[in-house]
Structure 1
Amino acid sequence: MTGSNNGGVCSNKGVYLKLTVLFLLSTTIYVYLYSSITIQTFAIGEVMKGTISDIQRWRDKMEGWVQMIGGNGYKYDAKSVKNTSFPDTRHNVRKPEAEVRITGQNNDSALGVTNKSRLIFLPQKNIRNSISDKPEVLLTLFTSWPTKAEKYMCHNNTIRNWQQLKPLIQPILFTNEALLTEEANEKGWTVLPVRKAGRGVPILKYMYKDAMERYNSTFYAFSNGDILYSHSLIDTLKALLNSSQIPRDKPIMVVGRRTNVQDVTSAEAVSGKSVYKTANKRGKVFTVWAEDYFITSANYPWKDIPEVVIGRRAYDNWLVSNARKQKHVTVDATNTLVALHQTTKAGNQEGFKADNPEYNHNLLRRMYHQLHYGAGLTSCADYYTKYHSNGRIQIVKRTVPKSCFPV
């Protein structure tokens, strides 16, 4: 009996041992197979992600080639196309059916039409030789900026502020950054690629040429991306069009001093009226040396301008001095045009702190050897704007200071 019982116990232990070994072996095989399948699935997933990414890149390239072949007038490389997309707004380009002529004496209305100021649609001329041709867009206003976290609120204020000036003013952002393109498009801006740059910074003359190719307007202007405007911008340009002091057959450049305001809030930038109020309440008018916007007529010869870049010193004063030298009409709009500069931690001399701050100066010195930047101050402009006692804006001929010579 005893031996028989011990044999049964041993037999049972043998069975348990075999089952345990079989279980461990099965578990090992399962883990191996599961790991192998998981690794392969992950690898396949990564391959698929790469394939999808390649397809998206080729799609973007094809869209860019189609747009280029379709006649939008731009020549740019695949690198620019890959990171850039912009909406088809060609329905806004150079409409030949009509133009807008602003008549009457009332220049107080920025966007509306009053009894004393009305819009008359007339057949538009095919060739624009002077500012007497008035398309339906008064000003094409463009800028460019890189993505910077510390500038997000500032640039968001600008996008909202400029958008409110439509339809008389058409805003454009030049960028090759996909996220900026998407954000600006969503908020109603036109986005164009930066097709020519110097040391990674947009070249000014090509921005003007591309904006002119895209839109037909009376004026075109580059402005720094941290500048906010009130309706005084529109009022000043309308006064300029109605002025008998300005020659109609000469190219025009309008500049002016900006008003610095520290840490502008979203509430202060919510409307043109609040911008105007904030500038008067907290702002300080900056030096005559600084020029942050350049409003030029459609016949301004940008093709003859050197390839200076934005955001670096020297080009602003040179542009004004060159306009004076070429006998173009120069206007200082400081007294009537509020240009609020959103001052951040970067301060009011960002151009001196940027990479390659002497880029423009070195370029101009190689071309012209002798430079007199003092001839290109806002105070050197041949004309200036002011408010008449009746509240209307006047264009007045200036006695230019001796310090503004020679040009």
Structure 2
Amino acid sequence: MITMFSVPKPFRHHIGIIQRNAVQSWTLIRPRPEIILFGDDEGTAEVAKSFGVRHVPKVARNEYGTPLLNDPFEQAKRLATYDLLCYVNADIILMSDFLEAVRRIVRWKHRFLMVGRRWDIDIKEYVDFTMGWENRLRARVNCQGQLHPSTGIDYFVFPRRMWGDIPPLAIGRTTWDNWLIYQARAMHVPMIDATDSIMAVHQNHDYLHIPARGGDAWEGPEAKRNLQLAGGRGHVFTLKDATYTLGQDSPRPTLSRRHLQRRLQTLPCLYPYLRFLAIFMKAFIRVSGSLRWASKKNCPAKEVRLDAKQ
């Protein structure tokens, strides 16, 4: 079993609708997970009571009122009934494929970080969760949704005692999620991209909940502080840094060219003592690429046509 936890925004207007959709979807996962909602924002206690999930009102915040990542993670580690935890953003609908994927990974390893890309879709209304809801939602997402790039990371599955000290990063601003991925890679924990196995549905919304004095989610003072706390842009990791992907069976190593190039790029960051090797390998790749280009450029036209016929 698994303990899922989240820090919702105030349950008002459209945000309230989509967050209710998300929480209700989690309660329908079987076997039902333990669910903890953190924070005392408007509606959180009432929603927790209506769905029969745990509510922890106290959560650390910065001067802008934004919850800080380290506090709910530390509290969840202490309060969770189960040793497997999942932090998930409160606008993400999850379905039965989520726990099926988790089971496959747990049979493979006990120490890991499972993440995945989300599917973005406009949902304005309460989802009808009567029989067949998953099939209806999947069909709608396949028709109207869009798979977010590798930066769209909204759920994190990990064992209870995996994290050490977590910086006080502002949740919902940039870089907090990237730092979690960086830290997992820095600890040499298998990082599994479950995008191919899990349809995580992100219900699109505006960002009017961010206070004006806090700027926006990407360029405001909270975002800049997050970047500083995370250790700079060199620690901004994404799903391109996954070391495994999850298909229908157990995880497979990521050996695509883009993954290997990214691994070479981050080698000095993760293994500082190998930085000179990384510089040499990058230079070798550049030179070999130039030689291949020059070889193709100087290839006689007749030989090219002959090769094409063959």
Q: What TM-score, normalized to structure 1? A: 0.57
Q: Deviations over 1:285-318 (max 9, x none)?
A: 00101211111112212x4111112111111112
Indicate the residue corresponding to 1:138 in structure 2.
Answer: 2
Indicate the residue corresponding to 2:88 in structure 1.
Answer: 223
Indicate the residue corresponding to 1:280 in structure 2.
Answer: 142
Indicate the residue corresponding to 1:13 in structure 2.
Answer: none
Question: Cα gap change, 1:277/1:188 in structure 2, threshold over 3 Å: closer, same or farther?
Answer: farther
Q: Is the 8 A contact 1:218 1:297 kept in 2?
A: yes
C-alpha separation in 1, matches of 2:229 and 2:41: 32
Q: Deviations over 1:184-210 (max 9, x none)?
A: 212212111233112311111221221
Q: 3-state DSSP class of the match of 2:246? A: strand
Alignment partner of 1:164 is 2:20: no
Indicate the residue corresponding to 1:395 in structure 2.
Answer: 251
Q: 3-state DSSP class of the match of 2:174? A: coil
Aligned amino acid, residue 334 of structure 1: T
Q: 3-state DSSP class of the match of 1:197? A: coil
Indicate the residue corresponding to 2:300 in structure 1.
Answer: none
Identity across matched positions, percent: 20
Alignment partner of 1:342 is 2:203: yes
C-alpha separation in 1, matches of 2:70 and 2:180: 11
Alignment partner of 1:196 is 2:60: yes
Indicate the residue corresponding to 1:154 in structure 2.
Answer: 18
Indicate the residue corresponding to 1:78 in structure 2.
Answer: none
For residue 355 of structure 1, report the CA deviation from its aligned partner: 9.3
Q: Is the 8 A contact 1:255 1:331 kept in 2?
A: yes
Alignment of 1:355-374 (within 5 A): 357-365=220-228, 368=231, 370-373=232-235
Count of aligned residue pairs for this structure pair:
257
Q: Is the 8 A contact 2:193 2:245 kept in 1?
A: yes
Indicate the residue corresponding to 2:276 in structure 1.
Answer: none
Alignment of 1:4-403 (within 5 A): 137-165=1-29, 167-177=31-41, 179-198=43-62, 199-243=64-108, 246=109, 248=110, 251-263=111-123, 265-267=125-127, 271-301=133-163, 303-345=164-206, 353-354=216-217, 357-365=220-228, 368=231, 370-373=232-235, 376-387=237-248, 393-399=249-255, 400-403=259-262
Question: Cα gap change, 1:193/1:346 in structure 2, threshold over 3 Å: closer, same or farther?
Answer: closer
C-alpha separation in 1, matches of 2:161 and 2:194: 20
Q: 3-state DSSP class of the match of 2:247? A: strand
Mean CA deviation greater in 152-161 or 283-292:
152-161
Q: Deviations over 1:164-186 (max 9, x none)?
A: 12544122211214643023212
Question: Cα gap change, 1:186/1:328 in structure 2, threshold over 3 Å: closer, same or farther?
Answer: same
Indicate the residue corresponding to 2:286 in structure 1.
Answer: none
C-alpha separation in 2, matches of 1:218 and 1:178: 30
The structure, 1 or 2, with the larger RCO (C-alpha pairs under 8 Å, 6+ apart) is 2
Question: Cα gap change, 1:261/1:294 in structure 2, threshold over 3 Å: closer, same or farther?
Answer: same
RMSD: 2.8
Q: What TM-score, normalized to structure 2? A: 0.73
Q: Is the 8 A contact 1:317 1:373 kept in 2?
A: yes
C-alpha separation in 2, matches of 1:346 and 1:365: 22
- Greater gyration radius: 1
Aligned amino acid, residue 284 of structure 1: Q
Q: Is the 8 A contact 2:173 2:226 kept in 1?
A: no
Q: Is the 8 A contact 2:14 2:124 kept in 1?
A: no
C-alpha separation in 2, matches of 1:327 and 1:352: 35
Question: Cα gap change, 1:175/1:205 in structure 2, threshold over 3 Å: closer, same or farther?
Answer: same
Q: 3-state DSSP class of the match of 1:254? A: strand
C-alpha separation in 2, matches of 1:365 and 1:314: 9
C-alpha separation in 1, matches of 2:139 and 2:7: 24
C-alpha separation in 1, matches of 2:80 and 2:242: 27
Q: Is the 8 A contact 1:261 1:283 kept in 2?
A: yes
Aligned amino acid, residue 24 of structure 2: R
Q: 3-state DSSP class of the match of 1:340? A: strand
Question: Cα gap change, 1:344/1:364 in structure 2, threshold over 3 Å: closer, same or farther?
Answer: closer
Q: Is the 8 A contact 2:97 2:197 kept in 1?
A: yes
Aligned amino acid, residue 197 of structure 1: R
Q: Which runs of 4+ in 1 moved over 6 A?
A: none
The structure whose residues are more often strand, as a share, is: 1
Q: Is the 8 A contact 1:230 1:275 kept in 2?
A: no
C-alpha separation in 1, matches of 2:187 and 2:82: 23
Aligned amino acid, residue 261 of structure 2: K
